[in-house]
Structure 1
Amino acid sequence: MPDTLKTLYVLTFPDVQLLDVSGPVQVFASANELMAKQGRAAPYSLKVIAAEGSSVMSSAGLGLITLPLPTADQPCDTLLIAGGRGIDAAADNPQLLNWLQIQALNARRVASVCSGAFLLAAGGLLDGKRVVTHWSRCAELARRYPALHVEADPIFINDGKLWTSAGITAGIDLALALVEEDLGHDLALAVARHLVVFLKRPGGQSQFSATLALQNNAGRFSELHAWIAENLSADLSVAVLAERVGMSERSFVRHYRAQTGSTPARAIEQLRVEAARRLLGDTVLPIKRVASRCGFGTEETLRRSFLRAIAVTPQAYRERFAAE
């Protein structure tokens, strides 16, 4: 673990998401503090920058003091792009894009938090790369930039020198991974413990978003989804669902996939997993009862669905997310 100082720029803009900035910055600042306690030099020089001058206003209404954009001859180890509702305006700024393209060439690595991936994509820096962004904008990112390989579930993705992360708090996960790459597992774990977060969070971002995404894209099937949610333990075969919406089975499957991007079976599994998550988190019902009530039939079927959907077992989910 070399004691060389690594300059880390965090790029912000008006209407930046506050936690996209403060979360990663605190991870690196905590790494500096813990190294100092060991009698070692701080590994990171943290600089929050913006094209707008000495300050920007976050979307939360809290202002951030910023430094101007560094010139090309100023050294940069890591360039981190925050996200937020101002990202589209930032991506329409040709001077900022030109600066970003030049700076990215000089940086050892480039990363984005949440929708910050849109700025990197606008600069052509993600072409041909595996990337992720906030679950609600993955489809938009893939549509607007077809040269990207967008994945909706990972908390973060590393492809070469480029790193992208999922929504908002995933910036903390990303920063911890960067610290682990720089300073080793033990120091990254110490930072995670200090911040009381997972070093490696279980599951992907779909564990909190899959059903919401399904509902957002439901369209003509919204009422059907509401009925399914109220009848999870009933017969939910394609024949029953098609009859309920007044379609032939073949037509229903075709239109459903076109509208939601999912098969009926996959959607039902998502709704059942969502219901099971609520019961596991809010009640003390035995897992076997949860499985029955949500239409899984057996505890093993519930377990397989949980592993497939959110990469953790029902018992592990309850231990981590259950209310007191």
Structure 2
Amino acid sequence: AARFAELNGCARAEGFDPAGVKQPLNRWILSEAAQAAEEIAAGIPSFKFNEAAGAAYRFVWNQFCDWYLELAKPILQGEGVDAAERVETQATVAYVIDLIAQLLHPFMPFLTEELWAQKAGVGAPRKSGPGDAALVCLTRWPDLSALKDAAAEAEIGFVVDLISDIRSVRSEVNVPAGTQAPLVLVNASAATRATIESWRPMIERLARVSEIAFETAAPAQSAQIIVRGEVAALPLAGLIDLDAERARLAKELAKLDQDIAVVEKKLGNPDFMARAPEEIVEENRERKAAAEARKAKIAEALARLA
């Protein structure tokens, strides 16, 4: 991520004020950083290190690397955007990478110090923002509460959830990876229509959508998805053999029922529970939980194909 930022001209900007950011995508990542900073700061003093590390991981890996940088690529690479938007995004990326160094520092002190130093350059003057100290360990923990932005989270969060759910449904019902499918929004609100129009090219590219339409009812033979209260539908006629797919899912569901029954029989056997090592018992519990989670997913897929 740091290398990608460097290659796209994302450097610490003098006078950069995160509170003055205008683009929804940039306001969203700053808001998510604020949430992560709070969760990490709550987890460490209460000795819930797994929760603190999990919050850091989710923010850096999922939100920043998986989504923010991917959604920001067209802006950073100058695809039909104005100069001010690109400059703001470059400065936001650099600012957030500084924040990431601070948030990861309790878990990865050596790497974060190295990146902090490299970003400034040897002997280079520090600019504004979190990068004004010589070492990460000398900075104050960031207070980002003023950067929380419900409107930006509603807009970008909807786009992220929509793309994620479309990918999940495509996988569940076995739509071929290279096949593009149309997307229909059913009775979409004005806010959702505006969000879709703003992010249409990105949704089409990342979700492999051929076109997006707004209708008053879902088309026949479509898989329906509920995303933050909005209904989206993927028409599947002609993309997959619906009867064959229902049969495949029903067969997998029956196999999972058998697997769960075998594990339940073991866990319900007092002799097995008394003799088996704890790690074997735990492994069987995890197998059962995984099978039940998969069963729920298949049941959802079958309901969509009903």
Instruction: Tell me the TM-score normalized by structure 2.
Output: 0.29
Q: Which has the higher helix share?
A: 2
Instruction: Tell me the TM-score normalized by structure 1.
Output: 0.28
Higher relative contact order (CA 8 A, sep 6+): 2
